[in-house]
Amino acid sequence: MMKLTPKSATLIVLVALIALSPLLFPSNFYYRVGALIFVNAIAVTGIVILTGYAGQVSLGHAGFAGIGAYACALAPVHLGVPPALAVVLGAVLSGVLAYLVGRPILRLHGYYLGVATLGFGILVTMVLTNERALTGGPDGIEVPDLGLRGLLGDLGLSLSNGQFWYFFSGLCMLIGAWIALNLYDSPTGRALRALHGSEVAARTVGIDVARLKLRAFVISAVYASVSGSLLALQNRFVTPDVAGFMHSIEMVTMAVLGGVGSVLGAIFGAAILTLLPQVLTVFAEYEQMVLGLVMILVMIFLREGLLPSILKKLRGKDE
């Protein structure tokens, strides 16, 4: 059998899924669900770098998604930049903010880091909610069109809105996954994993722990920001919910549920948790109960996350 590195295996699986899934779609609605999965997967890939590689917990990463999303709503209107550039602007802003915020708070551990990141997320939400004149307040604000679909249409490649966002978000997710996988194999990645094992041990072998954690925090913030930008551009509308506590929790849950140790696992988690509410509509009013139950059961019985546990089971059968 040909040997595949985990990196190329992951990428091949993702490309195949993106390209082949549409063949099974019963209606155009599924393009929308697919696009949402990919957008969530981008944020979750960032969580893999922060939590999976570096072992740090954030309960406020949706704050960065909020910055990315509102950059796309506001920059084109107020600064006259095209929406595509606004994505970059949001990402840079998130990165810089993560650097400034991360320096003091990454010294904290466990739940203390949790509450500090939580506070950051809440502060962002609060600004988005209360600065009504700028952000449109709690009712939200419209987001300009990215314009890329029209451009493709002019070039002769005409896609429905759902199809365009499906493939475009898929492509962005692939790029994000590729970067994260490269990082995993890089010296930084190895150092991060050492840090995850034991911070003290990493320090004694000469790793600059503070700088490394900060780097992971900044990178994951950029991922969250891009995810928020794409969500806003796709929805053409955004409210402060995008930065809210529940969205932060959703990101972490997706990553951990799927398997925070690997990019593919986390993306799997994003897919499951994005699909779940669509499937759970059959439970009507019991929807919330079932969702809570799924979260508990997976964490108890499939501790490493869904994908690693499933793979382990499969391998176990082979032997």
Partner 1 sequence: MSELLQFLFSGVTVGAVYALVALGFTIIYNASDVVNFAQGEFVMLGGMITFAAHAAGLPLPLAAVSAIVLTAGLGVAMNKLAIEPARGAPVVSLIIITIGASIFIQGAAQIVFGKQIHSFPAFSGDAPIRVAGATILPQSLWVIGGAVAVFIALWLFFTRTLLGRAVLATSNNRLAAQLVGINTNFVMTLSFALSAGIGALAGVLATPITLTAYNVGIAFALKGFAGAMLGGMGNPKGALVGGFSIGLIEALTAGYLSSTYKDAAAFVVILAVLFFMPQGLFGRKSTDRV
Partner 2 sequence: MKTTTALATLMALGLTTPALAEIRIGASISATGPAAFLGDPQVKTLEMLVEALNAAGGIDGEEVTLIHYDDGGDPNKARTFATRLIEDDEVVAIIGGTTTGATMSILSVAEDAEIPFISLAGAIEIIDPVRPFTFKTPHTDRMACQKIFEDIQARGFTNVAMISGTDGFGASMQAQCKAVIGDYGLTLVADESYNPTDADMTAQLTKIRNTEGVEALINPGFGQGPSIVTRNYAQLGLEIPFYQSHGVASNGFIDLAGADAAEGVRLPGTALLVADILPEGDAQRDIALAYKTAFEEATGTPVSTFGGYAHDAFLILTDAIARAGSTEPQAIRDAIEQTTGLVGTTGTYTFTPDDHLGLDLSAFRMLEIQSGAWTTVE
Three-class SS of residue 37? Answer: helix
Q: How far apart are CA 294 and CA 297, in angstroms?
A: 5
Asked if 158 touches partner 2 (CB under 8 A), the answer is no
Q: Are 19 and 240 in contact (CB under 8 A)?
A: no
**Nearer Cβ to partner 1, position 13 or 108?**
108
Residue 256 interacting entry, from partner 1, partner 2, none, C-beta within 5 to 8 Å by type: partner 1
Q: In whole angstroms, what is the distance from residue 71 CA to residue 88 CA?
A: 9
Q: Which does 267 bind (CB under 5 to 8 A by kind): partner 1, partner 2, none?
A: none
Task: Determine the 3-state secondary structure of 143 from DSSP.
Answer: coil
Closer residue to partner 1 in complex, CB, 171/289: 289
130 near partner 2, rule: CB under 8 A: yes
Nearer to partner 1, 16 or 296 (CB): 296
Distance CA 168, CA 163 (A): 8
Give the residue carrying structure tokens 């929308």: 32
Q: How far is CA 172 from CA 81, 85, 158, in A?
A: 21, 15, 19
Residue closer to partner 2 by CB (options 36, 177) is 36
Stretch of 20-28, 168-176, 203-211, 259-267 contacting partner 2, by CB under 8 A? 20-28
Whole-angstrom CA distances from 171 to 15, 34, 57, 87, 186 are: 9, 12, 27, 15, 23
Q: If you ran DSSP here, which 8-state letter would residue 198 be given?
A: -
Shortest distance, position 57 Cβ to partner 1, whole Å: 5
Chain contacts with partner 1 (rule: CB under 8 A): 51, 57, 59, 104-105, 107-112, 114-116, 118-120, 122-123, 126, 130, 198-201, 245, 249, 252-253, 256-257, 260, 285-296, 299-300, 303
Contact positions with partner 2 (CB under 8 A) in 227-286: 231, 235-239, 241-242, 277-279, 281-282, 285
User: Which one-letter amino acid corresponds to residue 205?
Assistant: V
Paired residues of 238 in beta bridges: 141
Binding residues for partner 2, rule: CB under 8 A, are: 26-29, 32-33, 36, 129-130, 132, 137-140, 142, 161-162, 231, 235-239, 241-242, 277-279, 281-282, 285, 287-288
